[in-house]
Amino acid sequence: MTPYALIDLATIAANYRFLCDKAGKARCGAAVKANAYGLGLVPVASALKNAGCTNFFTAHFSEALALRAHIKDGEIVVLHGLSKNDFAQALAHNITPMLNHLGAVQEWGAFSRERGESLPAMIHLDTGMNRLGLSPAEQAHLAAHHDLLDGIEIKAWASHFACADEFDNPMTTQQRDRLNSILSQLPSAPISLCNSSGLFWGEDYHFDLARPGVALYGGNPTPHLANPMKAVMTLHSPILQIRDVEAAMTVGYAASHSIKRKGRVATIALGYADGYHRALSNKGTVMIGQHQAPLIGRVSMDLITLDVTDVPEAAAHVGADVTLIGAHRTIDQAADEAGTICYELLTSLGERVRRDYLNAA
Q: Mind telling me the catalytic residues?
A: 33, 253
Q: How far is CA 241 from CA 155, 237, 247, 275, in A?
A: 56, 12, 19, 21
Q: Which residues pair with 96 in a beta bridge?
A: 77
Do the beta carbons of residue 82 and residue 100 sit within 8 Å? Answer: no
CA trace torsion 183, 185, 187, 189 (10° rounding): 10
Q: How far apart are CA 83 and CA 77, in angstroms?
A: 14
Identify residue 171 by its one-letter amino acid code. Answer: M
Angle between helices 61-68 and 41-50 (to 10 degrees): 60
- Identify the CA nearest to 324 among candidates 301, 345, 352, 347: 345
Question: Cβ atoms within 10 A of the Cβ of 170, count?
Answer: 9
